[in-house]
Amino acid sequence: MKPERKQRLLVVVFIVVVTGLVVGLLSYALRENINLFYTPSQVAAGEAPTHQQIRVGGMVVADSFERASDSLDSTFLVSDGSATLLIRYSGILPDLFAEDEAAVATGSLGADGVFVAQQVLAKHDEEYTPPEVADAMQQAIDKKAATEAAQQVESKALNTPEATY
């Protein structure tokens, strides 16, 4: 083999090895470090893992926000319209955090079903709602509509025989 060819081959082998290594590490790191988003309904249904970093979000329920009198510990409920989730957080909340507004929290779900947040994000301008929360709300609304429709059908089905008699 010509020395030039050999060098080119070495370069290619080097690049392939490095790329392989990187891809392996990347997929490992991605698996370890991605945070999945769950809605309060999913948490209520037991779909969310406990003691693992995840994100949850929804609308902060009115009058649910409580702050301890001697520390920065606080608790509040978030809702997607069909279920609520209790979030505990210690620290300073963002400027735009407010009741009846959307919020997304990163943290982990305890075995007691309380979500302990390390970070709370609120929407960052007047018109903006985090897409996750908007989606979750929409899903909840759809689900509600679907169950109501199903209930109506069911009740109709139950009612009709009576009506015929």
| Contact positions vs another protein (CB under 8 A) | 3-4, 7, 11, 14-15, 18, 22, 25-26, 29-30, 32-37, 53, 55, 67, 70-72, 90-93, 95-96, 106, 124-126, 128, 130-132, 135
Find, among 117, 102, 14, 115, the residue nearest to 57 by Cα: 102
Q: How far is the CB of 81 from another protein (least distance, A)?
A: 17
Q: How far is the CB of 35 from another protein (least distance, A)?
A: 5
Q: How far is the CB of 157 from another protein (least distance, A)?
A: 33
Among residues 32 and 112, whose Cβ is nearest to another protein? Answer: 32
Q: How far is the CB of 109 from another protein (least distance, A)?
A: 16
Distance CA 158, CA 140 (A): 26
Among residues 3 and 46, whose Cβ is nearest to another protein? Answer: 3
The answer to whether residues 75 and 116 touch, using CB atoms and an 8 Å cutoff, is no
Residue with tokens 């009198």, as numbered in its chain: 69
Among residues 3 and 161, whose Cβ is nearest to another protein? Answer: 3
First-to-final CA distance of the chain: 96
Instruction: Give the containing element (helix H, strand E) for 9.
Output: helix 3-33
Among residues 67 and 156, whose Cβ is nearest to another protein? Answer: 67
Among residues 61 and 96, whose Cβ is nearest to another protein? Answer: 96
Distance CA 75, CA 77 (A): 7
Q: How far is the CB of 161 from another protein (least distance, A)?
A: 42
Distance CA 81, CA 40 (A): 9
Distance CA 61, CA 54 (A): 20
CB atoms within 10 A of CB 52: 10
